[in-house]
Chain A
Amino acid sequence: MDKLLVSPSPHLHTKTSTKSLMRDVVIALLPAVVVSVLFYGWSELLVLGVSVASCVLLEYLITKYLLKGACTIGDWSAVITGVLLALNLPATTPWWVVFIGAVVAIGVAKMTFGGLGQNLFNPAIVGRVFLLISFPTYMTDWTKPQGFICNALADGYTGATPLGIAKEGGVAAVEGLDYMDMLFFNIGGSAGELSAIALLLGFAYLLIRRVIRPYITLSILATVAVFSGIFWAINPAEYTDPLFNLLTGGLLLGSIFMATDYVTSPMSNWGGVIFGVGIGLITMLIRYFGAYPEGVSFAILIMNSVVPLINKWCHTKKYGR
Protein backbone atom coordinates (compact mmCIF):
# COMPACT_ATOMS: atom_id res chain seq x y z
CA MET A 1 0.00 0.00 0.00
CA ASP A 2 2.83 2.42 -0.57
CA LYS A 3 0.78 4.05 -3.34
CA LEU A 4 -1.71 5.46 -0.81
CA LEU A 5 -1.53 9.24 -0.92
CA VAL A 6 -2.58 11.15 2.16
CA SER A 7 -3.26 14.81 1.47
CA PRO A 8 -5.20 17.54 3.28
CA SER A 9 -8.66 18.50 2.02
CA PRO A 10 -10.16 19.55 -0.38
CA HIS A 11 -10.16 16.25 -2.23
CA LEU A 12 -12.17 17.47 -5.19
CA HIS A 13 -10.38 17.41 -8.49
CA THR A 14 -10.96 19.52 -11.58
CA LYS A 15 -9.28 19.60 -14.91
CA THR A 16 -8.41 23.25 -14.39
CA SER A 17 -4.72 23.86 -14.02
CA THR A 18 -2.46 26.90 -14.06
CA LYS A 19 -1.65 26.01 -17.62
CA SER A 20 -5.26 25.84 -18.83
CA LEU A 21 -6.20 29.08 -17.04
CA MET A 22 -3.24 30.91 -18.51
CA ARG A 23 -3.99 29.55 -21.97
CA ASP A 24 -7.54 30.89 -21.63
CA VAL A 25 -6.16 34.34 -20.85
CA VAL A 26 -3.99 34.18 -23.97
CA ILE A 27 -7.06 33.21 -26.02
CA ALA A 28 -9.00 36.10 -24.48
CA LEU A 29 -6.22 38.46 -25.52
CA LEU A 30 -6.34 37.32 -29.15
CA PRO A 31 -9.06 39.74 -30.38
CA ALA A 32 -7.07 42.70 -29.08
CA VAL A 33 -3.89 41.30 -30.60
CA VAL A 34 -5.55 40.77 -33.99
CA VAL A 35 -7.02 44.27 -34.03
CA SER A 36 -3.73 45.86 -33.07
CA VAL A 37 -1.82 43.96 -35.75
CA LEU A 38 -4.46 44.84 -38.38
CA PHE A 39 -4.25 48.53 -37.59
CA TYR A 40 -0.57 48.90 -36.77
CA GLY A 41 0.87 46.37 -39.21
CA TRP A 42 4.40 45.02 -39.28
CA SER A 43 5.82 47.25 -36.57
CA GLU A 44 3.20 45.96 -34.11
CA LEU A 45 4.01 42.36 -35.11
CA LEU A 46 7.66 43.09 -34.39
CA VAL A 47 6.88 44.54 -30.94
CA LEU A 48 4.65 41.56 -30.12
CA GLY A 49 7.18 39.04 -31.38
CA VAL A 50 10.16 40.55 -29.58
CA SER A 51 8.17 40.96 -26.38
CA VAL A 52 6.78 37.42 -26.22
CA ALA A 53 9.98 35.76 -27.43
CA SER A 54 12.23 37.61 -25.00
CA CYS A 55 9.88 37.07 -22.04
CA VAL A 56 9.76 33.31 -22.64
CA LEU A 57 13.47 33.08 -23.43
CA LEU A 58 14.45 35.09 -20.35
CA GLU A 59 12.30 32.97 -18.08
CA TYR A 60 13.87 29.85 -19.58
CA LEU A 61 17.41 31.15 -19.15
CA ILE A 62 16.81 32.41 -15.60
CA THR A 63 15.14 29.23 -14.35
CA LYS A 64 17.69 27.00 -16.06
CA TYR A 65 21.02 28.76 -15.49
CA LEU A 66 20.53 31.26 -12.68
CA LEU A 67 18.15 29.44 -10.35
CA LYS A 68 19.02 25.96 -11.63
CA GLY A 69 15.49 24.80 -10.81
CA ALA A 70 12.50 23.48 -12.68
CA CYS A 71 11.76 25.25 -15.93
CA THR A 72 8.45 27.13 -15.69
CA ILE A 73 7.86 28.38 -19.22
CA GLY A 74 5.34 25.57 -19.83
CA ASP A 75 2.69 27.36 -17.74
CA TRP A 76 2.11 30.10 -20.35
CA SER A 77 2.42 32.92 -17.83
CA ALA A 78 5.52 34.32 -19.55
CA VAL A 79 3.55 34.41 -22.81
CA ILE A 80 0.82 36.46 -21.14
CA THR A 81 3.36 38.85 -19.70
CA GLY A 82 4.89 39.21 -23.16
CA VAL A 83 1.58 39.88 -24.89
CA LEU A 84 0.41 42.33 -22.19
CA LEU A 85 3.71 44.19 -22.29
CA ALA A 86 3.49 44.50 -26.08
CA LEU A 87 -0.13 45.71 -25.89
CA ASN A 88 1.00 48.34 -23.39
CA LEU A 89 3.60 49.85 -25.71
CA PRO A 90 3.29 52.10 -28.75
CA ALA A 91 3.66 50.14 -31.98
CA THR A 92 6.66 52.29 -32.88
CA THR A 93 8.76 51.19 -29.88
CA PRO A 94 12.26 50.08 -30.98
CA TRP A 95 12.98 46.38 -30.41
CA TRP A 96 15.73 46.96 -27.85
CA VAL A 97 13.42 49.09 -25.69
CA VAL A 98 10.89 46.24 -25.79
CA PHE A 99 13.68 43.86 -24.79
CA ILE A 100 14.65 46.01 -21.78
CA GLY A 101 10.99 46.04 -20.79
CA ALA A 102 10.93 42.24 -20.94
CA VAL A 103 14.10 42.04 -18.82
CA VAL A 104 12.50 44.24 -16.16
CA ALA A 105 9.14 42.44 -16.33
CA ILE A 106 10.46 38.87 -16.16
CA GLY A 107 13.84 39.36 -14.51
CA VAL A 108 13.04 42.02 -11.94
CA ALA A 109 9.32 41.90 -11.27
CA LYS A 110 8.75 38.15 -11.59
CA MET A 111 11.79 35.93 -11.11
CA THR A 112 13.52 38.05 -8.47
CA PHE A 113 10.48 37.64 -6.25
CA GLY A 114 10.40 33.89 -6.84
CA GLY A 115 8.46 33.39 -10.04
CA LEU A 116 4.76 32.93 -10.70
CA GLY A 117 2.72 33.01 -7.51
CA GLN A 118 5.24 35.03 -5.50
CA ASN A 119 5.47 38.27 -7.41
CA LEU A 120 4.10 41.27 -5.54
CA PHE A 121 3.57 43.38 -8.65
CA ASN A 122 2.16 42.60 -12.07
CA PRO A 123 5.26 41.95 -14.22
CA ALA A 124 3.89 43.49 -17.42
CA ILE A 125 2.97 46.75 -15.68
CA VAL A 126 6.32 46.96 -13.91
CA GLY A 127 7.95 46.59 -17.33
CA ARG A 128 5.74 49.25 -18.84
CA VAL A 129 6.17 51.76 -16.01
CA PHE A 130 9.93 51.21 -16.02
CA LEU A 131 10.01 51.98 -19.75
CA LEU A 132 7.70 54.96 -19.29
CA ILE A 133 10.01 56.69 -16.82
CA SER A 134 13.17 55.51 -18.62
CA PHE A 135 12.33 56.31 -22.22
CA PRO A 136 9.62 58.98 -22.16
CA THR A 137 10.36 59.94 -25.77
CA TYR A 138 9.75 56.45 -27.20
CA MET A 139 6.88 55.71 -24.86
CA THR A 140 4.82 58.75 -25.82
CA ASP A 141 5.47 58.62 -29.55
CA TRP A 142 2.04 57.81 -30.90
CA THR A 143 2.65 58.38 -34.60
CA LYS A 144 0.55 55.88 -36.43
CA PRO A 145 2.47 53.36 -38.50
CA GLN A 146 1.03 51.88 -41.69
CA GLY A 147 -1.50 49.17 -40.87
CA PHE A 148 -2.84 46.29 -42.93
CA ILE A 149 -6.23 47.96 -43.20
CA CYS A 150 -6.33 51.70 -43.45
CA ASN A 151 -8.73 53.70 -41.36
CA ALA A 152 -9.41 57.10 -42.74
CA LEU A 153 -11.13 58.38 -39.62
CA ALA A 154 -8.10 57.96 -37.42
CA ASP A 155 -5.66 59.72 -39.71
CA GLY A 156 -6.67 63.15 -38.51
CA TYR A 157 -5.86 62.44 -34.92
CA THR A 158 -2.42 60.86 -34.98
CA GLY A 159 0.23 62.25 -32.70
CA ALA A 160 -1.40 62.04 -29.31
CA THR A 161 -3.84 59.89 -27.41
CA PRO A 162 -7.28 61.29 -26.61
CA LEU A 163 -6.26 61.52 -22.94
CA GLY A 164 -3.08 63.35 -23.92
CA ILE A 165 -5.07 65.81 -26.00
CA ALA A 166 -7.49 66.35 -23.13
CA LYS A 167 -4.59 66.97 -20.72
CA GLU A 168 -3.02 69.53 -23.05
CA GLY A 169 -5.99 71.33 -24.50
CA GLY A 170 -8.81 70.72 -22.04
CA VAL A 171 -12.23 69.34 -22.77
CA ALA A 172 -12.83 71.52 -25.85
CA ALA A 173 -9.97 69.83 -27.68
CA VAL A 174 -11.57 66.40 -27.60
CA GLU A 175 -15.13 67.44 -28.35
CA GLY A 176 -14.93 66.33 -31.98
CA LEU A 177 -14.04 62.74 -31.17
CA ASP A 178 -16.65 60.16 -31.92
CA TYR A 179 -17.39 57.54 -29.27
CA MET A 180 -18.13 54.92 -31.89
CA ASP A 181 -14.55 55.34 -33.10
CA MET A 182 -13.28 54.66 -29.64
CA LEU A 183 -15.48 51.62 -29.26
CA PHE A 184 -14.25 49.97 -32.43
CA PHE A 185 -10.85 51.37 -33.22
CA ASN A 186 -9.57 53.88 -30.78
CA ILE A 187 -7.65 56.89 -32.00
CA GLY A 188 -3.95 56.64 -31.32
CA GLY A 189 -2.43 55.00 -28.28
CA SER A 190 -0.77 51.80 -27.22
CA ALA A 191 -1.73 48.75 -29.21
CA GLY A 192 -3.98 47.49 -26.42
CA GLU A 193 -5.91 50.75 -26.18
CA LEU A 194 -7.05 50.45 -29.74
CA SER A 195 -10.39 48.70 -29.60
CA ALA A 196 -12.74 48.57 -26.66
CA ILE A 197 -14.89 45.93 -28.36
CA ALA A 198 -11.97 43.51 -28.77
CA LEU A 199 -11.08 43.87 -25.12
CA LEU A 200 -14.70 43.43 -24.02
CA LEU A 201 -14.90 40.27 -26.14
CA GLY A 202 -11.92 38.93 -24.22
CA PHE A 203 -13.63 39.92 -20.94
CA ALA A 204 -16.76 38.02 -21.91
CA TYR A 205 -14.71 34.95 -22.79
CA LEU A 206 -12.88 35.05 -19.45
CA LEU A 207 -16.18 35.36 -17.58
CA ILE A 208 -17.85 32.54 -19.50
CA ARG A 209 -14.88 30.25 -18.97
CA ARG A 210 -14.89 31.32 -15.29
CA VAL A 211 -11.26 32.29 -15.46
CA ILE A 212 -11.84 35.53 -13.58
CA ARG A 213 -14.58 36.87 -11.38
CA PRO A 214 -16.09 40.19 -12.49
CA TYR A 215 -15.81 42.06 -9.15
CA ILE A 216 -12.45 43.73 -9.67
CA THR A 217 -13.07 44.83 -13.25
CA LEU A 218 -16.60 46.08 -12.60
CA SER A 219 -15.67 47.98 -9.45
CA ILE A 220 -12.83 49.74 -11.29
CA LEU A 221 -15.12 50.73 -14.15
CA ALA A 222 -17.92 51.78 -11.78
CA THR A 223 -15.58 53.89 -9.69
CA VAL A 224 -14.19 55.63 -12.76
CA ALA A 225 -17.72 56.25 -14.07
CA VAL A 226 -19.04 57.61 -10.76
CA PHE A 227 -15.98 59.73 -9.99
CA SER A 228 -15.82 61.32 -13.44
CA GLY A 229 -19.61 61.57 -13.46
CA ILE A 230 -19.59 63.72 -10.32
CA PHE A 231 -16.87 66.02 -11.61
CA TRP A 232 -18.44 66.22 -15.06
CA ALA A 233 -21.83 67.07 -13.57
CA ILE A 234 -20.27 69.88 -11.53
CA ASN A 235 -18.23 71.38 -14.36
CA PRO A 236 -18.53 69.84 -17.83
CA ALA A 237 -16.26 72.53 -19.30
CA GLU A 238 -13.34 71.49 -17.11
CA TYR A 239 -13.64 67.72 -16.77
CA THR A 240 -14.08 65.02 -19.39
CA ASP A 241 -17.26 62.95 -19.28
CA PRO A 242 -17.60 59.39 -17.89
CA LEU A 243 -17.97 57.61 -21.23
CA PHE A 244 -14.83 59.27 -22.54
CA ASN A 245 -12.94 58.12 -19.44
CA LEU A 246 -14.22 54.57 -19.72
CA LEU A 247 -13.34 54.15 -23.37
CA THR A 248 -10.01 55.92 -23.63
CA GLY A 249 -6.56 54.95 -22.50
CA GLY A 250 -5.53 51.69 -20.96
CA LEU A 251 -8.48 51.48 -18.58
CA LEU A 252 -10.20 48.49 -20.19
CA LEU A 253 -6.96 46.61 -20.85
CA GLY A 254 -5.77 47.30 -17.31
CA SER A 255 -9.01 46.50 -15.54
CA ILE A 256 -9.77 43.34 -17.50
CA PHE A 257 -6.38 41.74 -17.97
CA MET A 258 -3.93 43.24 -15.52
CA ALA A 259 -5.80 44.14 -12.34
CA THR A 260 -7.38 40.67 -12.34
CA ASP A 261 -4.03 38.85 -12.32
CA TYR A 262 -4.48 36.08 -9.73
CA VAL A 263 -1.17 36.59 -8.02
CA THR A 264 -1.35 40.32 -7.50
CA SER A 265 -5.04 40.82 -6.66
CA PRO A 266 -6.89 40.14 -3.40
CA MET A 267 -8.33 36.67 -2.78
CA SER A 268 -11.84 37.44 -1.58
CA ASN A 269 -14.64 39.13 -3.53
CA TRP A 270 -14.97 42.05 -1.13
CA GLY A 271 -11.22 42.43 -1.19
CA GLY A 272 -11.48 42.64 -4.96
CA VAL A 273 -14.04 45.41 -4.68
CA ILE A 274 -11.82 47.45 -2.34
CA PHE A 275 -8.91 46.84 -4.69
CA GLY A 276 -10.95 47.91 -7.71
CA VAL A 277 -12.33 51.07 -6.07
CA GLY A 278 -8.77 52.03 -5.12
CA ILE A 279 -7.53 51.56 -8.67
CA GLY A 280 -10.44 53.54 -10.11
CA LEU A 281 -9.93 56.43 -7.68
CA ILE A 282 -6.17 56.67 -8.20
CA THR A 283 -6.61 56.43 -11.98
CA MET A 284 -9.07 59.31 -12.05
CA LEU A 285 -7.03 61.42 -9.64
CA ILE A 286 -4.01 61.05 -11.94
CA ARG A 287 -6.08 61.72 -15.09
CA TYR A 288 -7.73 64.86 -13.71
CA PHE A 289 -5.07 66.32 -11.47
CA GLY A 290 -1.79 64.46 -12.11
CA ALA A 291 1.14 65.24 -14.37
CA TYR A 292 0.62 62.20 -16.59
CA PRO A 293 -2.38 61.98 -18.93
CA GLU A 294 -2.98 58.31 -18.01
CA GLY A 295 -2.71 56.66 -14.61
CA VAL A 296 -4.08 53.12 -14.88
CA SER A 297 -0.69 51.41 -14.67
CA PHE A 298 0.44 53.50 -11.71
CA ALA A 299 -2.90 52.89 -9.98
CA ILE A 300 -2.62 49.12 -10.41
CA LEU A 301 0.96 49.12 -9.11
CA ILE A 302 0.04 51.18 -6.05
CA MET A 303 -2.93 48.95 -5.25
CA ASN A 304 -0.83 45.82 -5.87
CA SER A 305 1.38 46.91 -3.01
CA VAL A 306 -1.52 47.00 -0.53
CA VAL A 307 -2.98 43.63 -1.57
CA PRO A 308 -1.45 41.80 1.43
CA LEU A 309 -3.17 44.33 3.72
CA ILE A 310 -6.50 43.91 1.92
CA ASN A 311 -6.17 40.14 2.24
CA LYS A 312 -5.65 40.60 5.96
CA TRP A 313 -8.87 42.63 6.34
CA CYS A 314 -11.02 40.46 4.11
CA HIS A 315 -10.59 36.98 5.48
CA THR A 316 -13.02 34.49 4.13
CA LYS A 317 -14.84 33.01 7.11
CA LYS A 318 -13.76 29.53 8.05
CA TYR A 319 -16.46 27.01 7.19
CA GLY A 320 -18.65 26.21 10.18
CA ARG A 321 -17.79 29.20 12.36
Chain B
Amino acid sequence: MGKFQLITKGLIKENPTFVLLLGMCPTLATTTSAINGMSMGLATLFVLVLSNMAISLTAPYIPDKVRIPSYIVIIATFVTLLQFVMQAYVPDIYETLGLFIPLIVVNCIVLGRAEAFANKNGVLDSALDGLGIGLGFTCSLTVLGLVREILGSGSAFGFKFIEGDGILAFVLAPGAFLALGYLIVIFKKLTSKKAE
Protein backbone atom coordinates (compact mmCIF):
# COMPACT_ATOMS: atom_id res chain seq x y z
CA MET B 1 0.00 0.00 0.00
CA GLY B 2 1.44 3.31 -1.09
CA LYS B 3 1.82 6.26 1.25
CA PHE B 4 -0.81 8.19 -0.66
CA GLN B 5 -3.31 5.34 -0.41
CA LEU B 6 -2.87 5.33 3.37
CA ILE B 7 -4.44 8.77 3.41
CA THR B 8 -7.13 8.29 0.77
CA LYS B 9 -8.48 4.99 2.11
CA GLY B 10 -9.71 6.78 5.22
CA LEU B 11 -11.74 9.15 3.08
CA ILE B 12 -13.76 6.64 1.07
CA LYS B 13 -13.00 2.94 1.34
CA GLU B 14 -12.61 2.88 5.12
CA ASN B 15 -14.52 6.03 5.95
CA PRO B 16 -14.97 5.75 9.74
CA THR B 17 -18.48 7.22 9.81
CA PHE B 18 -20.21 6.05 6.65
CA VAL B 19 -18.50 2.68 6.14
CA LEU B 20 -17.07 1.47 9.45
CA LEU B 21 -19.80 3.15 11.54
CA LEU B 22 -17.33 3.89 14.33
CA GLY B 23 -17.46 6.76 16.79
CA MET B 24 -21.23 7.12 16.55
CA CYS B 25 -21.56 8.95 19.88
CA PRO B 26 -19.69 12.15 18.90
CA THR B 27 -21.00 11.79 15.34
CA LEU B 28 -24.62 12.00 16.39
CA ALA B 29 -24.25 14.33 19.33
CA THR B 30 -21.96 17.08 18.09
CA THR B 31 -23.08 17.57 14.49
CA THR B 32 -25.81 20.12 15.20
CA SER B 33 -24.00 22.53 12.85
CA ALA B 34 -21.26 22.31 10.23
CA ILE B 35 -18.80 24.24 12.42
CA ASN B 36 -19.41 21.98 15.41
CA GLY B 37 -19.02 18.85 13.29
CA MET B 38 -15.82 20.11 11.73
CA SER B 39 -14.24 21.12 15.03
CA MET B 40 -15.09 17.74 16.55
CA GLY B 41 -13.54 16.05 13.52
CA LEU B 42 -10.38 18.16 13.69
CA ALA B 43 -10.05 17.53 17.42
CA THR B 44 -10.23 13.79 16.80
CA LEU B 45 -7.79 14.11 13.89
CA PHE B 46 -5.25 15.78 16.15
CA VAL B 47 -5.48 13.09 18.81
CA LEU B 48 -5.52 10.33 16.19
CA VAL B 49 -2.28 11.38 14.46
CA LEU B 50 -0.33 11.96 17.67
CA SER B 51 -1.55 8.87 19.49
CA ASN B 52 -0.93 6.69 16.42
CA MET B 53 2.65 7.94 16.28
CA ALA B 54 3.25 7.51 19.99
CA ILE B 55 1.75 4.04 20.02
CA SER B 56 3.69 2.83 17.00
CA LEU B 57 6.88 4.03 18.76
CA THR B 58 6.13 2.46 22.12
CA ALA B 59 4.35 -0.70 20.95
CA PRO B 60 7.47 -2.93 21.04
CA TYR B 61 8.01 -2.13 24.74
CA ILE B 62 4.45 -2.55 25.98
CA PRO B 63 3.63 -6.04 27.31
CA ASP B 64 0.76 -7.58 25.37
CA LYS B 65 -1.43 -8.12 28.44
CA VAL B 66 -1.61 -4.46 29.43
CA ARG B 67 -1.64 -2.92 25.99
CA ILE B 68 -5.22 -1.59 26.01
CA PRO B 69 -4.83 0.32 29.32
CA SER B 70 -1.49 1.61 28.10
CA TYR B 71 -3.01 2.85 24.86
CA ILE B 72 -5.74 4.57 26.78
CA VAL B 73 -3.19 6.33 28.98
CA ILE B 74 -1.32 7.51 25.88
CA ILE B 75 -4.53 8.68 24.18
CA ALA B 76 -5.74 10.38 27.36
CA THR B 77 -2.47 12.32 27.51
CA PHE B 78 -3.05 13.82 24.09
CA VAL B 79 -6.70 14.49 24.80
CA THR B 80 -5.80 16.41 27.96
CA LEU B 81 -3.28 18.38 25.93
CA LEU B 82 -5.92 19.14 23.30
CA GLN B 83 -8.39 20.12 25.98
CA PHE B 84 -6.03 22.74 27.43
CA VAL B 85 -5.16 24.09 23.98
CA MET B 86 -8.83 24.40 22.98
CA GLN B 87 -9.78 25.97 26.29
CA ALA B 88 -7.07 28.58 25.79
CA TYR B 89 -7.51 29.47 22.13
CA VAL B 90 -11.07 28.51 21.06
CA PRO B 91 -13.10 28.77 24.28
CA ASP B 92 -16.41 29.08 22.37
CA ILE B 93 -16.04 25.78 20.56
CA TYR B 94 -14.69 24.22 23.75
CA GLU B 95 -17.88 25.26 25.51
CA THR B 96 -20.19 23.88 22.79
CA LEU B 97 -18.46 20.53 22.43
CA GLY B 98 -18.23 20.28 26.21
CA LEU B 99 -18.10 16.72 27.46
CA PHE B 100 -17.38 15.29 24.03
CA ILE B 101 -13.76 16.53 24.07
CA PRO B 102 -12.71 14.36 27.05
CA LEU B 103 -14.80 11.55 25.57
CA ILE B 104 -12.36 11.33 22.65
CA VAL B 105 -10.34 9.14 25.04
CA VAL B 106 -12.84 6.35 24.62
CA ASN B 107 -13.59 7.07 20.97
CA CYS B 108 -13.43 3.69 19.29
CA ILE B 109 -11.87 5.12 16.13
CA VAL B 110 -8.75 6.20 18.05
CA LEU B 111 -8.45 2.96 19.99
CA GLY B 112 -9.34 0.96 16.88
CA ARG B 113 -6.56 2.46 14.80
CA ALA B 114 -4.09 1.93 17.65
CA GLU B 115 -5.04 -1.72 17.92
CA ALA B 116 -5.51 -2.46 14.22
CA PHE B 117 -2.78 -0.40 12.63
CA ALA B 118 -0.38 1.62 14.77
CA ASN B 119 0.95 -1.19 16.95
CA LYS B 120 2.25 -3.16 13.97
CA ASN B 121 3.37 -0.42 11.57
CA GLY B 122 6.08 2.22 11.41
CA VAL B 123 5.83 5.78 12.71
CA LEU B 124 5.36 7.47 9.32
CA ASP B 125 2.76 4.97 8.12
CA SER B 126 0.85 5.28 11.41
CA ALA B 127 0.86 9.05 11.21
CA LEU B 128 -0.45 8.95 7.63
CA ASP B 129 -3.07 6.40 8.62
CA GLY B 130 -4.19 8.64 11.48
CA LEU B 131 -4.28 11.60 9.11
CA GLY B 132 -6.36 9.72 6.52
CA ILE B 133 -8.88 8.31 8.97
CA GLY B 134 -9.02 11.64 10.81
CA LEU B 135 -9.68 13.50 7.56
CA GLY B 136 -12.40 11.01 6.65
CA PHE B 137 -13.99 11.54 10.06
CA THR B 138 -13.72 15.32 9.75
CA CYS B 139 -15.24 15.36 6.25
CA SER B 140 -18.15 13.12 7.20
CA LEU B 141 -18.88 15.09 10.36
CA THR B 142 -18.76 18.35 8.43
CA VAL B 143 -21.13 17.02 5.76
CA LEU B 144 -23.50 15.62 8.39
CA GLY B 145 -23.34 18.86 10.35
CA LEU B 146 -23.93 20.88 7.19
CA VAL B 147 -26.98 18.84 6.19
CA ARG B 148 -28.45 19.12 9.68
CA GLU B 149 -27.69 22.83 9.87
CA ILE B 150 -29.23 23.60 6.46
CA LEU B 151 -32.39 21.61 7.19
CA GLY B 152 -32.62 22.33 10.89
CA SER B 153 -31.77 26.00 11.24
CA GLY B 154 -31.69 27.26 7.65
CA SER B 155 -28.05 28.28 7.71
CA ALA B 156 -24.70 27.00 6.48
CA PHE B 157 -21.48 27.47 8.49
CA GLY B 158 -23.33 30.02 10.57
CA PHE B 159 -24.63 32.14 7.67
CA LYS B 160 -28.42 32.28 7.79
CA PHE B 161 -30.24 32.21 4.48
CA ILE B 162 -33.85 31.95 5.64
CA GLU B 163 -35.78 33.82 8.25
CA GLY B 164 -36.78 32.02 11.41
CA ASP B 165 -36.27 28.35 12.20
CA GLY B 166 -35.94 25.41 9.87
CA ILE B 167 -37.20 21.90 10.48
CA LEU B 168 -36.29 21.80 14.16
CA ALA B 169 -36.22 18.01 14.35
CA PHE B 170 -32.93 17.97 12.46
CA VAL B 171 -31.18 19.88 15.24
CA LEU B 172 -32.52 17.38 17.77
CA ALA B 173 -31.47 13.76 18.24
CA PRO B 174 -34.05 12.10 15.91
CA GLY B 175 -32.87 14.25 13.02
CA ALA B 176 -29.28 13.16 13.66
CA PHE B 177 -30.23 9.52 13.16
CA LEU B 178 -32.37 10.30 10.10
CA ALA B 179 -29.71 12.45 8.42
CA LEU B 180 -26.95 9.93 9.18
CA GLY B 181 -29.04 7.04 7.86
CA TYR B 182 -29.84 8.74 4.58
CA LEU B 183 -26.27 9.98 4.14
CA ILE B 184 -25.04 6.39 4.52
CA VAL B 185 -27.54 5.34 1.84
CA ILE B 186 -26.30 8.02 -0.54
CA PHE B 187 -22.65 7.24 0.26
CA LYS B 188 -23.18 3.52 -0.40
CA LYS B 189 -24.98 4.30 -3.64
CA LEU B 190 -22.18 6.57 -4.86
CA THR B 191 -19.30 4.27 -3.87
CA SER B 192 -20.94 1.12 -5.22
CA LYS B 193 -21.39 2.81 -8.60
CA LYS B 194 -17.69 3.64 -8.64
CA ALA B 195 -16.77 0.02 -7.91
CA GLU B 196 -18.75 -1.22 -10.89
Interface residues of A (CB under 8 A from B): 100, 108, 112, 130, 133-136
Contact = CB atoms under 8 A, between A and B. Distances in A.
Contacts of A133: 168-169, 172, 174
Contact of A135 (B168, B178, B181): B168
Q: Which of B169, B170, B178, B181 is the most central at the interface, judged by chain A CB atoms within 10 Å of its CB?
A: B169
A100 B178 contact: no
Q: Which of B168, B170, B172 is the most central at the interface, judged by chain A CB atoms within 10 Å of its CB?
A: B168
Interface string B140-173: 0000000000000000000000000001111010
A108 B168 contact: no
16 contacts: A100-B167, A108-B178, A112-B181, A130-B169, A130-B174, A133-B168, A133-B169, A133-B172, A133-B174, A134-B167, A134-B168, A134-B169, A134-B170, A135-B167, A135-B168, A136-B168
Nearest to A107: B182
Given A108-B178, A130-B174, A133-B174, 13 more contacts: A100-B167, A112-B181, A130-B169, A133-B168, A133-B169, A133-B172, A134-B167, A134-B168, A134-B169, A134-B170, A135-B167, A135-B168, A136-B168
B82 to A, nearest CB: 34
B166 to A, nearest CB: 8
Contacts of B168: 133-136
B87 to A, nearest CB: 33
A128 B139 CA distance: 33
A9 B168 CA distance: 50
B165 to A, nearest CB: 8
A130 B169 CA distance: 7
A45 B181 CA distance: 34
A112 B178 CA distance: 11
A108 B167 CA distance: 15
A135 B174 CA distance: 14
B89 to A, nearest CB: 36
A100 B167 CA distance: 9
Contacts of A112: 181
Contacts of A134: 167-170
A130 B173 CA distance: 12
B53 to A, nearest CB: 42
A246 B168 CA distance: 31
Nearest to A100: B167
A83 to B, nearest CB: 23
Q: Which 7 A-B pairs have the closest CB atoms?
A: A134-B169, A134-B167, A134-B168, A133-B169, A130-B169, A133-B172, A133-B168
Q: Which of A100, A112, A133, A136 is the most central at the interface, judged by chain B CB atoms within 10 Å of its CB?
A: A133
B123 to A, nearest CB: 45
A136 B168 CA distance: 9
Nearest to B175: A134
B47 to A, nearest CB: 34
B30 to A, nearest CB: 20
A127 to B, nearest CB: 11
Contacts of B174: 130, 133
A135 B169 CA distance: 8
